[in-house]
Structure 1
Amino acid sequence: MRTVIKEGWALVRIQFYIVIILFLYQLLWGIFLYRLVQSAVIPLLLRYPDQGHNELGKTLFWMESQIALMDNREVHIYLWVLLGATVLRMLITPFIRAGIYQSLHTYATEPQSLSFFRGMKRHGLSSLLYYIIELGLLLLPAIWVMPRLYPIVAGALQSPSYLLHMLPYAIGWIAYGWFIRQCILYMQLGTVGGHAILSSLLAFFRQIVPAIGISFLLGACVLLVFALFGTVAMIWTGMLALILQQSYHFVTSLVRLWHISSQYRLWHTDISSRS
């Protein structure tokens, strides 16, 4: 596993421009959400009664807010904008994935920038199909889980300790989501590389233990960086906190590409040994 992770890091160094693309992609999305929330929430918060007003003023504020949520066209506009941006992001993400996978397969034979964009063109539609299947499979457990979570959420309104009952469902859903994403990843690596989908899927099952180890190790790195950056940002607020917040997106983009590259090396080693 250590060898695979080192080889994955070597691929990251070769394709470092993809890290920049992923970082800018996340940064633009974050700026959009920030501006949307700022334009929608800040004016509302400025109207919140200050400490000098009585409870009647606060009650009137909440009543007015509820009426505005139901009747205000501006609220509906914000929701439509958010929905449109989310759909656009869901359409762009599969094409970026296709570019990354193509770049991994051809890093030694094609110029990297051309390989990335050729991958978006050649395999973008198939990647979109994989992405739709992935989302459908990830949401499928909601049919069974949501009816069981509703009583827990209702009980949490009375006692927050009820939220502990959600922990097994959350852990199970996370594990299920990782399994589905890894299956789709290996299948798509096989599609881009011209190999049979079934053989690529079997490669994942044969290498599932090191695949889990790679995901766990790199995921722990992300959590450690998140905890470190969050702690520093809480202690030293201001410009330093803003820089750390944006740097976190860069780190997550770097680790995400590292994870994909390491899984690619694991897949390639297994496929090569059996061909």
Structure 2
Amino acid sequence: MSNYLKQGWGLTVKHLPIAAFLFLYRLLWGFFLYRLVDSVVRPLVQRYPGADGAASGGDAIFWAESQFRLLKTDLAHPYLWLLGGLLLARLLLGPLLSAGLAYSVRHAAESGAEGGTRFLEGIRVCWKPFLLLAAAELALALAPAVWLVREGFHRFQHYSSLPQLAADALPWLGAWLLWIGLLHVLILGLQFGAASGLSVGASFQQALRRLLPLAGVSLVLLLLSGLLQAGVSAGAMAWAGLAALVIQQGYHFVRTLIDVWILSSQFSCWSDKPDSGGRQVS
């Protein structure tokens, strides 16, 4: 396990420029979304009558007018189309960036100390299988949700309280989350196979062979990332003001660096194959 983390960190150091690019991409994406939401929400909040309007029925008029304009006019249509376009762009850009990073990590791992990065080449070569695999993962992950929602509405009629319904639904939700996690690890193995130039059959066999070790590495790194995020949040709460702002903004780059480390370590684990003596070799 520690060997995979060490190899992954070595690959991460080689991809510091790509990590900086991904950090800027996330920063600009977040800033754009913030400005968009602010431009839509701020005028609505300014029109709300507030506490003084509640006594005269101003808040009821506000909500009645909002309901009428949302349901009877096309006021929300441009925003819904824009939201759908942004979601589609996010779904498309994610696999493209993953394709470039996975291909570059594979190239750097095979080339050793002399290997550079091949991020743009990876996007050009592997964009199609990564998009198809991402679409398959999304469809398979959401497939149980149809049954869960239908079953939840059916069972809702037989429960007298929401806590009782939530307690009964918790095991099903846990199984769904477990399915999503295992599916993600399996699709990740297939994506590594696509970045390595393997056939679909060979990629699937390798993904199944390394499923449990890959899941273990992923779980350990995600736990480490969660602990680090909890520590950063606690530090930001303890040092309010400018220090909290610096900590939060600095953590975004650290989080991007951790994501690159996670993928690099996952590839090191996935590409590890047993030699003839039964030992593991990279």
Scaled to the shorter chain, the TM-score interval is 0.7 to 0.9
Unpaired runs of 5+ in structure 2? none
Larger radius of gyration: 2
Stretch deviating more after TM superposition (146-155 or 255-264): 146-155
Query: In the alignment, is residue 208 of structure 1 matched against residue 182 of structure 2?
Result: no
User: How far apart are the structure 2 equivalents of 1:25 and 1:173?
Assistant: 31
Residue 116 of structure 2: aligned partner = 111
Give TM-score scaled by structure 2 length. Answer: 0.85
**Residue aligning to 1:136:** 139
| Residues 1:240 and 1:155: Cα distance change in structure 2 (over 3 Å) | farther
Aligned to 1:94: 95
Distance in 2 between residues matched to 1:165 and 1:20, nearest whole Å: 45
Contact 1:233 1:240 in 2 (8 A): yes
Amino acid of the structure 1 residue aligned with 2:204: L
Change (3 A) 1:244 1:189: same
* 1:268 corresponds to: 271
Q: Which moved more, 1:61-70 or 1:143-152?
A: 143-152
| One-letter identity of the residue aligned with 2:173 | A
- Matches of 1:222 and 1:179, distance apart in 2: 19
Q: Deviations over 1:56-84 (max 9, x none)?
A: 22222211221222245442211111111
**In 1, Cα distance between the equivalents of 2:8 and 2:89?**
30
In 2, Cα distance between equivalents of 1:152 and 1:244: 46
Alignment RMSD: 2.8
Instruction: Report the CA distance between 1:235 and its aligned residue.
Output: 4.6
Measured in 2, the distance between the counterparts of 1:12 and 1:84 equals 32
Identity rate of aligned residues, in percent? 34
Aligned pairs for 1:128-207 within 5 A: 128-150=131-153, 159=162, 162-207=165-210
**Would you say the 8 A contact 2:49–2:59 is kept in 1?**
yes
Q: 1:232 to 1:47 in 2, by over 3 A?
A: farther
* 1:63-74 superposed matches below 5 A: 63-74=64-75
Q: CA deviation at 1:38?
A: 0.7
Q: Which runs of 5+ in 1 are unaligned?
A: none
One-letter identity of the residue aligned with 2:61: L
Instruction: Identify if the C-alpha distance between structure 1 residues 44 and 164 changes in structure 2 by more than 3 Å, giving closer, same or farther.
Output: farther
1:47 is matched with which residue?
47
Preserved CA contact (<8 Å) 2:186 2:211:
no
CA distance in 1, matches of 2:171, 2:130: 32
1:152/1:58 Cα in 2 relative to 1: closer, same or farther (>3 Å)?
farther
Counterpart Cα distance in 1 of 2:157 and 2:60: 23
Q: Which residue of 1 aligns with 2:77?
A: 76
For residues 215-270 of structure 1, the C-alpha deviation after alignment (integer angstroms, 9 at most, x for no partner) is: 12111122223323333444544444443433343233222211211111112112
Distance apart, 1:3 and its partner CA: 0.8
Q: 1:268 to 1:224 in 2, by over 3 A?
A: same
- The answer to whether the 8 A contact 1:187-1:198 is kept is no
* Structure 1 residue 154: Cα displacement: 8.9
How far apart, CA to CA, are the structure 1 residues paired with 2:239 and 2:167?
32
Distance (Å, rounded) in 1 between the aligned partners of 2:157 and 2:20: 43
**CA displacement, residues 153-207 of structure 1 (integer Å, 9 cap, x when unaligned):** 8999x75674444432332222111211111111121122122333333333333
In 1, are the aligned partners of 2:217 and 2:269 still within 8 Å (CA)?
no
Structure with more contact order per residue of length (Cα contacts < 8 Å, sep ≥ 6): 1
CA 1:60 to 1:164, structure 2 compared with 1: closer, same or farther past 3 Å? farther
Q: Cα distance, 1:103 vs. partner?
A: 0.4
Structure 2 residue 14 is matched with structure 1 residue 11: no
Any conservation in 2 of the 1:101–1:119 contact (CA below 8 Å)? yes
The Cα offsets for residues 26-64 of structure 1, whole Å up to 9 and x where unpaired, read as 222211221121111121112222223335222222112
The corresponding residue for 1:217 is 220
Structure 1 pair 166–223 and aligned structure 2 pair: CA distance change class (3 A):
farther
1:257 pairs with 2:247: no
Cα–Cα, structure 1 residues 148 and 7, in superposed 2: closer, same or farther, change >3 Å? same
